[in-house]
Chain A
Amino acid sequence: MLDLRSQEWLEPFLLSVGALIVALLLFGAFMMLQGIPPLELYSALYIGSFGTRISIENSLTLAAPILLAALCTLIAARVGLLVMGGEGAIVLGGLGAVLVGVALPLSSPLLGSLLCLLAGALFGGLWIAMAGGLKRVRGVNETISTLLLNYIAIAILNHLISGPIRDFSQTLKAQSWSIPSYFMMPNIPGWSVHWGILIGILVCVLLHVLLRHTTFGFSMDVVGGNNRAAQMAGLPITSIVVISCFLGGAAAGLAGAIEVVAVHGAASESLVVGFGYTGILVAFLARQKPLAVIFFALLMGGIAASGGLLQRRFDVPYAATAVLQGMIFLCVLASSALSGRILPERKSK
C-alpha cells in the first residue's frame, strides 16, 4: 500500500520540478533567438553551477543567503502571511552585525562572530516582526508593508554608510566601518566556501523540527489554515503571528550578517543584490517545506553562479540568469493551477 503521506509530498515536488524543466526549455528557446545553441547553453549552465569544483564552491557561497532569505517568506507563509521583506531584513541583519562587531570590546574570534550573527538575526527579526504586529493590531497588509520596509531598510543603509558610520578611508565605494578582521568567519577547511551554507542547512533542519514536531509549529499550521478555528481553540494568534514573523526575519537577518561576517567585513550596497527576492522564489518552489528549501536554494545558487560563465562564453549580459529566474517564477506560479490534478484523487468514500 502506498503511504498517503508520501503522496502528499510527491505532488508538490513533481509540480516544482516540472515547472523548473519548462522554465529551462523556455530559457533555451529565448537564448536560441539570440543565436546561442541550446545544448551549449545547458552545458554551460551545468559547468558554471555544478560542473567544476570552483563552480560548486561559488554555488554554495551564493546558495547560503538565498536559503536563509527563503525562510523569511516560508515561515510567515505557514501562518498565512505573504511576506516579501527578505531583502530589507538582510540589510538590517548586515547593519546589526556591523554595529555589534565594531562596538564589541572582545578579542575572542568565535564569540565575536557569533555575537555579530546573533545581532543580525535580532535586527532582521524585529524588522519583520514589526510588519506582523502591524498586520495583527492595525490590519496593515503585510505584503505591501514588507515590500515598503525593503525600501526603508535600503534608505537607512544608504544614509548610515554615506555619513554616520562611513569608513572614509575607503574612497572608491561608500561602505561602513569594518568589523575587526579576527571576527571574520573562516572557510570550511579544505574548501573555499564559508560556513554560511552549513549554518543555513542547520537552520532548515531545526525549522523542520519546529514546524513538524512542536506544539508551536502545530499552532502555526492551525493559524495559517483557518484563523477562526484558531480563535475557537483559544490560540494566542497575535503572539504566534508575531513570533513567526520574528523567526522569518531572523533567518534573513542572519543571511545579511553572514554576508558581512564571512564575505564583505562591512555593510555596503553589496548587501542589496536581490538575495531576498530570489529567496521568495525559492520559498514558492519549495512550497513552504523547509527541507525542500535546501534543494531549491542550491539550485538557484547554481543558476546565479553560472551567470559569469554565460557572460564570458556567449557574450550575454550577466542579467541573463535573472531572465531564467523570472521564467522559473512564472512557471511555478502557473503550475499551482495544476495542483490537485496530476495525481489520482484521494477522496475517501
Chain B
Amino acid sequence: MTVLPPPTIELRNISKQFGTVRALDAVSARFQSGRVHALLGENGAGKSTLVKCLLGYYRADAGETIVDGRRVAISHPAEAHALGLGMVYQHFTLVPQMTVAENFVLGRGKIPLVVKWKDEQDQLRSFMAGMPFRLDPQRKVSTLAAGEKQKLEILKQLYLGRRFLVLDEPTSVLTPAEADEVLGEMRNLANASKLTVVLITHKFREVEQFAQDVTVLRGGKLAGSVDQKDASKETLATMMFGGGTAEKSRVAKPAAVADGVPYLKIHELIADGDRGTPVLNGVSIDVRPGEIVGVAGVSGNGQKELVEVLAGQRATTSGSILVDRQAFSGTRSEIKRAGVALISEEPLANSAVRTLSVMENLALRQFDEKPLSLAKFFLNRSRLAPFARDLIQRYKVRASSPFVRLDTLSGGNVQRVVLARELSRDVKLLIVQNPCFGLDASAATNIRQQIVDARDRGAAVLLVSEDLDEILEISDRILVLSEGTVSFETSRANAEVYEIGRHMAGAHAA
C-alpha cells in the first residue's frame, strides 16, 4: 500500500516552560523510520509535553523539528496531521453508541451533508483487507472490548493516512493479554515499514518486548537514548529514577524514633474503582507517630482510591482502617478525635469549595468549634474574618481579602489555603497526596518542609506521591503500591532506587 517509508522525525533541543515550571529542557530525540521507539519516564517527566510539542498541541519555546530531513514548524495539530503524524490517546475518543463504520467516518473531520454509506462501507472493507487486524464495521463500539477499542483507535489513525503514530500509555486500560496483542500488531506494522511508532510508557516489560529504541526523560531533561538491546533493566531504572541510593535530603532529617503502636493501621483493604472493578486488592499499611511513610507508585495503581477511602470519599468492600486503635470511617467526630488532616491533589475538586470565600474554606474544619461557633449551632460570622486573616498571614496566602471567592486565587495559593486549614490545627495523622503537583520548586520545598515539621511535632504521615524524588527526599519508610497491593517495602536507609523503580514498573507481575 504505502510506497514511501514512514517518516523519520528528529527533535532538537526542545524546551517548554509553563509559568515557572520548566517542563522540557533542551530535549532531543530521533524517531527512526519503521521502528518502535519507547519514550520512558516517570509521571511528570515531560513525555506528554514532548509529543504534544511535536504534534502542534503546544508550541515549544525553543528547538526544532525535522521530518525526513526537512525542518518544519508545526503550530497546529492539523499541520501535524497533514504531515501524517497522529496520536492515540490514553482514553478513548470514540462514540460508544455508534458503529465502527460511523466512528471511522466521524474521525475524518470533514463529513459531507449526505453520507454515501455504501461507498464508505466499500472503502472501509478494502482498507481493512490490507490491515493485519480488523473489526466488523457494523458492530456498535459499546460492544467492543477495551483491546478492540484501542485497535479501532489505531485503525482510525491508519485510515486517515497517518504513518507516524504516538501511543500515549495505550495499555493503561488494557489487560496484559490485550496489551501484548495490540503492541505486537504495532510492532508488525513497523516491521512491515508501514508505520513509525512512538510508545509512551512507564512499563519496562513493554519496552523490553516491543520497543527497538528507548529514550528516557527525567524531570524534563533527556536522561539517555539507547538501543533497547543494549539496555538492561538496571540501566533503564537508573536513567528513569536517578542513580544510587536515596539522596540525603536537603530538608529532612530522618525521624528520631518511630516505633510503638501504629497510629494509622490499614488492614487488608479492598475497594472498587470508578468502573466498579476492584482497584485496591488487600492493602495493608502501618504508620507510626513521628514517621513519614511514602507510598510510591505509577498513577493508576490505586493511589487515588486509597486516599479517597481515607478521605471518606469512597466506599470499601472489606478490610479495616484503625486510627488510634479505633475504627475510622471518616465521620466528623472521628476526624476531630483522632486529629486527622488531609492534603489532597487538585484541592478545588477534592477538598475545597470553589464557590465559597477564602475565609469560609479556611473555616471548613473548625466552623463548628469555638470560637467560630456558639454552642455548636450558631456560626459566629464576625469571628470568621479575623480567624482567616491570621491564617492568610501565617501561611502567606496571596488573597486581596478573606471575602473573595476561592477560585479567584491561583493554584499555588489555593494549595496554601488548604495547607493553612489542615496544618494549623493539632495534627496527629496527616494524609498527603501529590502535594506539590504543578507547583514551582520553591513552593514545593516549602510544602515539603511543612510536612516534615508536622512529623517532627509527632504526627504520623502517610505521603502518597507519584514523584519518587519527593518520596525519597522526605520519607522514613517507603512502600510501593502496584496493582492495588503493597508490593515492596524498604527503610529509607536501605532504599535502592533501582529496586523501587523495578517494583513501580510492575516487576512482581513479570
- By a beta-carbon cutoff of 8 Å, the part of chain A in contact with chain B is 4-5, 8, 212-218, 221-222, 225-226, 228-229, 231-236, 346-349
Contacts and interface: CB of A to CB of B under 8 A. Distances in A.
A222 B377 CA distance: 16
B331 A234 contact: yes
16 contacts: A4-B404, A5-B403, A213-B381, A215-B378, A215-B379, A221-B355, A225-B355, A226-B349, A226-B353, A226-B355, A229-B350, A229-B352, A231-B312, A233-B364, A234-B332, A235-B332
Given A216-B377, A236-B332, A221 B353 contact: yes
Given A215-B376, A217-B379, A229-B352, A346 B331 contact: no
A234 B330 contact: yes
A226 B134 CA distance: 45
A218 B367 contact: yes
A225 B356 contact: yes
B381 A226 contact: no
Contacts of B403: 4-5, 8
A143 to B, nearest CB: 20
B404 A225 contact: no
Report which residue of A213, A225, A233, A349 has the largest number of chain B beta carbons within 10 angstroms of its beta carbon: A233
A170 B456 CA distance: 82
A237 to B, nearest CB: 10
B495 interface: no
Contacts of B355: 221, 225-226
A228 B350 contact: yes
A221 to B, nearest CB: 6
A234 B312 contact: yes
Nearest to A212: B381
A233 B351 CA distance: 8
B311 interface: yes
B107 to A, nearest CB: 32
B399 interface: yes
B408 A232 contact: no
B344 interface: yes
B408 A347 contact: yes
CB-CB nearest 5 A-B residue pairs? A234-B332, A225-B353, A348-B400, A215-B368, A226-B353
Interface residues of B, number: 40
Contacts of B173: none
B404 A232 contact: no
B423 interface: no
Main secondary structure of the interface of A (DSSP, over half): helix
Contacts of A234: 312, 330-335
A4 B402 CA distance: 10
B401 interface: yes
A8 B357 CA distance: 11
A312 to B, nearest CB: 47
B312 A213 contact: no
A213 B379 contact: yes
A85 to B, nearest CB: 24
A346 B365 CA distance: 26
Contacts of B404: 4, 346, 348
A232 B331 CA distance: 9
B409 interface: yes
B161 to A, nearest CB: 41
A185 B376 CA distance: 37
Contacts of A233: 332, 335, 364-365
A113 B398 CA distance: 56
B351 A215 contact: no
Contacts of B376: 215
Contacts of A232: 311-313, 330, 342, 344, 350-351
Contacts of A221: 353, 355-356, 360
Given A228-B349, A235-B332, A215 B367 contact: yes
A82 to B, nearest CB: 16
A348 B416 CA distance: 14
Contact of B353 (A213, A216, A229): A229
B378 A214 contact: yes
B402 to A, nearest CB: 9
Contacts of A231: 311-313, 330
A218 B369 CA distance: 13
A222 B355 CA distance: 9
A226 B401 CA distance: 22
B385 to A, nearest CB: 10
A346 B357 CA distance: 12
A348 B400 CA distance: 5
Nearest to B342: A232
A214 B377 contact: yes
Contacts of B365: 233
Contacts of A346: 400, 404, 408
B331 A226 contact: no
B399 A228 contact: no
Contacts of A229: 350-353, 364
A222 B399 CA distance: 20
Contacts of A216: 377
B373 interface: yes
A232 to B, nearest CB: 5
A226 B376 CA distance: 22
Given A232-B311, A235-B332, A346-B404, A225 B344 contact: no
Contacts of B344: 232
Given A222-B364, A225-B353, A235-B332, 6 more contacts: A213-B378, A215-B367, A221-B353, A226-B354, A231-B312, A231-B330
A348 B399 contact: yes
Nearest to B361: A229
Nearest to B403: A4
Report which residue of B344, B349, B378 has the largest number of chain A beta carbons within 10 angstroms of its beta carbon: B378
Nearest to B312: A231
Contacts of B331: 234, 236
Contacts of A217: 379
Interface string B373-411: 100111101000000000000000011110110001100
B332 to A, nearest CB: 3
Contacts of A225: 353-356
A4 B378 contact: no
A347 B410 CA distance: 9
Nearest to A345: B408
Contacts of B352: 226, 229
A207 to B, nearest CB: 14
A215 B352 CA distance: 17
Nearest to A216: B377
Contacts of B373: 215
A65 B360 CA distance: 33
Nearest to A223: B353
A228 B334 CA distance: 17
A348 B356 contact: no
Contact of A4 (B312, B350, B401): B401
Nearest to A225: B353
